[in-house]
């Protein structure tokens, strides 16, 4: 029996069960990374660069070391291998050209404001803080590079010796110049997005200690327990001497995909042999952690009179900040998704990501695919206005369909529900609102998007899961999934319960431990339900197969005839003739039939990407599609935008827990609205000025309206029971939807996020002056 053959009753898959972790959390019982402590524990803290680009002439640490309670101060030369390799962490070893690194502690040069220079280890946080303040650094200032376009100019100063160009993707399909020349309609514009912080409520934190056999254990807030390998490389020990545990994480959104506290904790434990805790301040989290890439885009889009796309000519320049991290992959996602979910025969894309002295950029929910939605949807709206066609109708004339191939060579293997999604939001958004006062106007905007779930196919992604019964008939799931708040663990329990019948209350899931759990890969790339869900489904299905045979024997029936239910196993239609799980496991033991199963699920494979303009192929497993609609009210005097109503529809294939699915959609909409309207990381000469939540404005309950999530279930997805991933995709449409609504309300085209009150008020003023 293969996974595809399982025809579950959907007894519990599709039910809105209460997540077991939610109960613990609302009690306040969940132990997050910073909540754990050990006797004799030391405290570690980083001295970070105060400037954005400088040579380190001298680092004076003697005064710091003399402070009472300071145990050690480490510098670059104290790190065995002072390199953090970023080669797409997790289940893979080779990514070739996408390999990048940064220093654990700054080595001779600092390239961004906040770069770690020295690691202080002390008996108390107060002593550590005093020591950080006492470290004197003699900087030789270097020219600051804070504009990615100027950074590419001939003669620009450089961030790294290799030059400022980090990665470039170039591709052309068809004859773009010819099509643009001959097309009846061409629309053209430039778009720009800002730097965004993840702004999870839980700052980066961890506790580490030395365990038996010389194993360093790091219990940290992370999306990737497989970083144990990266830590081992830094320490110069075998991979199996480092163990990473991820407790429930207080928000990730991609910001805990790269390592945070892990290498510093490991170095401190190695140096002292004592337990060490490190908790970053909000200021460190906001100023010194990776951001979402700020992207500049220029689009020329050609269409025929009916609005069918003929050509897209796309240029992208992305600001990667001071170190590469995952920039190359983020840009690949931008490049793959740049034309939008629209058919187009002639496409040219030139995308570049550039080093600057800004805070490094890396993964964030939406991962390059969300920024380009502002541009491709802006172009569709512009085209619709030029041709006098309804914006959703224009999109419908161009939607990709199942079986199509994107310009980069990416096939679309499953159902594309965009037509149904547009109909659903049009119907639900309802009648147009009326302005609440004479100086206010209302506007409505629509947008569509698509984003992948699962990792690049050439990474040979895999997940593994272990499921086993206890002798009393309760069930255990072991899987190395970090749960970052989306219900990863709970959904896996639900899938297990569906297949094996055992009630969720009788299932315990052990997660997030690189030593004691089967590894299952990163909680990133909208991949956990897809990959880990399939691994759990496979393990449960294979386990069930063996148990069903024994049960059939006990029940004197056929294997195909047995049903698994919360009380045990019974012949179909005869629930009273049940064998309890404890009795069944005892029977298995007597027959030496295993009641435990370890299974591996492999994702689709692909041809590795090469640095070659001719390369075409499948980049990602599959996509999740969406359509959003928003109504806003704009105060024409102040430019203030109030979001009145929001509807977001996505085809999730199959909703394992619809409440969790809606939670992902609504939460992502709020994050997207923050990007559209208020959030921005502000730099001056590459100095990060947004170090508090009073300066970096994420939306509060007042700014976000009631968001209605529409969950479509096409049944076509590559995940368990036909599920698609939903964690990241809904963050894309809010920005273009707000841009469209602003144009609808004011007749003004705004192309640079965030659309703050100031920017809107200035644009209204310019429009009024032009009209005078």
Partner 1 sequence: MNISLRLNGTPVDVDVPPHWTLLRTLRDRLGQTDVKHGCGEGVCGACTVLLDGVAVNGCLVLAVQADGGDIETVASLADGDTLHPLQQELVERGAVQCGFCTPGMVLGALEATRIGAAADRAEIRRSLAGNLCRCTGYTTIVDAVEAYQQRVANEVSP
Instruction: List residues binding partner 1 (CB under 8 A).
Output: 16, 18-19, 21-32, 34-35, 37, 126, 198-203, 248-253, 279, 281-282, 484-487, 659-660, 662-663, 666-671, 692-694, 698, 700-702, 704, 706-707
The least CB distance from residue 22 to partner 1, in Å, is 4
In the complex with partner 1, the residue whose CB is nearer, 389 or 509, is 509
In the complex with partner 1, the residue whose CB is nearer, 40 or 573, is 40
In the complex with partner 1, the residue whose CB is nearer, 198 or 444, is 198
Residue 310 near residue 387 (C-beta atoms within 8 A): no
Give the position of tokens 């999306």.
223
The least CB distance from residue 271 to partner 1, in Å, is 23
CA 517 to CA 495: how far, in whole Å?
A: 18
In the complex with partner 1, the residue whose CB is nearer, 18 or 93, is 18
Give the pairing type, strands 641-651 and 707-712: parallel
The least CB distance from residue 192 to partner 1, in Å, is 24
In the complex with partner 1, the residue whose CB is nearer, 18 or 58, is 18
- Report which of 113, 225, 299 is spatially closest to residue 518, judged by C-alpha positions: 225
The least CB distance from residue 692 to partner 1, in Å, is 5
CA 261 to CA 248: how far, in whole Å?
A: 16
3-state SS class at 535:
helix
In the complex with partner 1, the residue whose CB is nearer, 21 or 728, is 21
The least CB distance from residue 447 to partner 1, in Å, is 17
The least CB distance from residue 236 to partner 1, in Å, is 34
Give the position of tokens 């206890």.
470
CA 520 to CA 533: how far, in whole Å?
A: 10
In the complex with partner 1, the residue whose CB is nearer, 249 or 294, is 249
The least CB distance from residue 137 to partner 1, in Å, is 25
The least CB distance from residue 28 to partner 1, in Å, is 3
**Angle CA 373–153–169, to nearest 5:** 40
**Angle CA 218–220–221, to nearest 5:** 165
In the complex with partner 1, the residue whose CB is nearer, 126 or 766, is 126
- Report which of 288, 318, 308, 363 is spatially closest to residue 110, judged by C-alpha positions: 288
Tell me 548's DSSP state: H
How many other C-beta atoms are found inside a 10 Å radius of the C-beta of residue 97? 12
How many other C-beta atoms are found inside a 10 Å radius of the C-beta of residue 457? 20
Please provide residue 728's backbone torsions phi and psi, each rounded to the nearest 5 degrees. Answer: -100, -40
- Report which of 280, 231, 254, 228 is spatially closest to residue 81, judged by C-alpha positions: 231
The least CB distance from residue 24 to partner 1, in Å, is 8
In the complex with partner 1, the residue whose CB is nearer, 515 or 697, is 697
CA 679 to CA 674: how far, in whole Å?
A: 5
The least CB distance from residue 723 to partner 1, in Å, is 17
In the complex with partner 1, the residue whose CB is nearer, 286 or 317, is 286
Q: How many CA atoms lie within 13 A of 66 on its CB side?
A: 6
How many other C-beta atoms are found inside a 10 Å radius of the C-beta of residue 342? 24
In the complex with partner 1, the residue whose CB is nearer, 17 or 550, is 17
Q: Which two tokens stand for residue 686?
A: 């590459």
In the complex with partner 1, the residue whose CB is nearer, 32 or 615, is 32
The least CB distance from residue 694 to partner 1, in Å, is 5
CA 542 to CA 547: how far, in whole Å?
A: 9
Quickly count helices (H) and strands (E) in the chain: 18, 29
Write out the DSSP string of 325-369: TTHHHHHHHHHHHTT-SB--SEEEEEEEEEE-SSPPB---TTTTT
For residue 520, what are the contacts with CB-CB under 8 A and spacing of at least 6?
A: 463, 464, 465, 479, 480, 481, 528, 531, 532, 535
3-state SS class at 521:
coil
The least CB distance from residue 731 to partner 1, in Å, is 11
In the complex with partner 1, the residue whose CB is nearer, 146 or 635, is 635
SS (H, E, C) 462-511: EEEEEEEECCCCCEEEEECCCCCCCCHHHHHHHHHHHHHCCCHHHEEEEE
The least CB distance from residue 19 to partner 1, in Å, is 7
How many other C-beta atoms are found inside a 10 Å radius of the C-beta of residue 664? 24
In the complex with partner 1, the residue whose CB is nearer, 125 or 147, is 125
Q: Is the peptide bond before 622 cis (omega within 30 degrees of 0)?
A: no
Residue 448 near residue 395 (C-beta atoms within 8 A): yes
In the complex with partner 1, the residue whose CB is nearer, 303 or 669, is 669
In the complex with partner 1, the residue whose CB is nearer, 621 or 754, is 754
Give the position of tokens 């005839």.
561
The least CB distance from residue 219 to partner 1, in Å, is 14
In the complex with partner 1, the residue whose CB is nearer, 702 or 770, is 702
In the complex with partner 1, the residue whose CB is nearer, 412 or 677, is 677
Q: Which two tokens stand for residue 438?
A: 């004479």
The least CB distance from residue 476 to partner 1, in Å, is 22
Helix spans in 58-204 (H): 62-66, 125-134, 148-151, 176-182
The least CB distance from residue 172 to partner 1, in Å, is 40
Write out the DSSP string of 410-460: -B--S---HHHHHHHHHHHH-SPP--SSTTEEEEEEEEEEEEEES--GGG-
The least CB distance from residue 730 to partner 1, in Å, is 10
What sign has the CA pseudo-torsion 315, 320, 323, 329? negative
The least CB distance from residue 609 to partner 1, in Å, is 33
């Amino acid at each position: 029996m293969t996974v595809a053959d399982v025809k579950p009753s959907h007894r519990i898959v599709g039910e809105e069960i209460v997540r077991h972790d939610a109960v613990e959390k609302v009690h306040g019982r969940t132990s997050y990374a910073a909540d754990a402590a050990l006797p004799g524990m030391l405290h570690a803290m980083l001295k970070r660069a105060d400037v954005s680009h400088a040579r380190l002439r001298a680092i004076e640490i003697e005064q710091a070391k003399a402070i009472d309670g300071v145990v050690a101060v480490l510098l670059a030369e104290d790190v065995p291998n002072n390199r953090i390799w970023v080669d797409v962490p997790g289940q893979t070893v080779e990514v070739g050209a996408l390999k990048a690194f940064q220093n654990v502690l700054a080595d001779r040069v600092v390239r961004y404001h906040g770069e770690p220079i020295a690691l202080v280890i002390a008996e108390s946080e107060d002593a550590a803080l005093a020591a950080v303040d006492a470290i004197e650094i003699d900087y030789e200032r270097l020219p600051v590079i804070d504009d990615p376009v100027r950074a590419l100019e001939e003669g620009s100063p450089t961030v790294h010796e290799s030059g400022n160009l980090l990665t470039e993707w170039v591709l052309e399909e068809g004859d773009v110049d010819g099509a643009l020349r001959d097309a009846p309609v061409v629309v053209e514009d430039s778009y720009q997005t800002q730097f965004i912080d993840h702004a999870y409520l839980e700052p980066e934190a961890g506790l580490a200690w030395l365990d038996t056999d010389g194993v360093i254990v790091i219990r940290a807030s992370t999306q990737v327990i497989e970083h144990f390998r990266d830590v081992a490389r830094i320490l110069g020990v075998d991979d199996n001497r480092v163990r990473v545990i991820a407790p429930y994480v207080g928000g990730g959104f991609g910001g805990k995909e790269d390592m945070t506290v892990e290498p510093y904790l490991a170095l401190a434990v190695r140096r002292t042999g004592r337990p060490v805790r490190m908790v970053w301040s909000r200021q460190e989290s906001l100023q010194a952690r990776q951001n979402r890439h700020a992207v500049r885009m220029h689009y020329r889009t050609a269409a025929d009179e009916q609005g069918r796309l003929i050509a897209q000519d796309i240029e992208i320049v992305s600001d990667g900040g001071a170190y590469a991290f995952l920039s190359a992959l983020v840009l690949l996602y931008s490049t793959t998704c740049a034309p939008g979910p629209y058919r187009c025969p002639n496409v040219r894309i030139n995308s570049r990501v550039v080093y600057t002295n800004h805070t490094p950029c890396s993964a964030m929910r939406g991962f390059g695919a969300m920024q380009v939605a502002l541009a491709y949807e802006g172009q569709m709206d512009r085209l619709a206005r030029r041709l006098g066609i309804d914006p959703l109708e224009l999109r419908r004339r161009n939607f990709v369909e199942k079986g199509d191939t994107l310009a980069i060579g990416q096939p679309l293997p499953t159902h594309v529900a965009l037509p149904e999604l547009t109909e659903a939001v049009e119907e639900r958004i309802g009648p147009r609102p009326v302005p609440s006062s004479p100086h206010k106007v209302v506007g409505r905007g629509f947008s569509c998007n698509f984003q992948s779930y699962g990792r690049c196919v050439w990474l040979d992604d895999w997940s593994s899961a272990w499921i086993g019964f206890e002798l009393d008939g309760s069930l255990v799931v072991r899987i190395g999934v970090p749960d970052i708040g989306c219900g990863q663990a709970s959904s896996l329990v639900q899938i297990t319960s569906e297949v094996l019948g055992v009630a969720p209350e009788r299932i315990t899931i052990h997660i997030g431990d690189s030593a004691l759990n089967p590894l299952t890969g990163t909680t990133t790339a909208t991949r956990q339900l897809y990959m880990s869900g399939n691994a759990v489904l496979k393990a449960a299905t294979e386990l069930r197969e063996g148990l069903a045979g024994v049960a059939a024997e006990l029940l004197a029936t056929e294997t195909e005839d047995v049903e698994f239910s919360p009380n045990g196993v019974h012949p179909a239609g005869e629930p009273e003739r049940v064998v309890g799980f404890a009795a069944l496991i005892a029977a298995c033991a007597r027959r030496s039939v295993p009641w435990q199963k370890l299974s591996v699920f492999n994702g689709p494979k692909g041809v590795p990407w090469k640095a070659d303009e001719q390369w075409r192929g499948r980049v990602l497993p599959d996509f999740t599609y969406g359509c959003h609609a928003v109504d806003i009210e704009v105060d024409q005097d102040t430019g203030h935008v109030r979001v009145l109503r929001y509807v977001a529809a996505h085809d999730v294939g199959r909703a394992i827990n619809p409440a969790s699915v809606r939670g992902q959609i609504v939460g992502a909409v709020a994050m997207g609205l923050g990007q559209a309207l208020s959030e921005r990381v502000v730099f001056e000469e590459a100095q990060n000025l947004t170090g508090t939540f009073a300066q970096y404005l994420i939306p509060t309950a007042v700014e976000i309206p009631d968001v209605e999530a529409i969950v479509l279930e096409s049944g076509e997805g590559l995940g368990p029971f036909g599920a698609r991933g939903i964690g990241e995709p809904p963050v894309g449409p809010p920005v273009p939807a707000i841009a469209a609504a602003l144009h609808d309300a004011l007749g003004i085209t705004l192309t640079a996020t965030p659309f703050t009150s100031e920017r809107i008020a200035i644009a209204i003023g310019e429009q009024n002056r032009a009209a005078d």
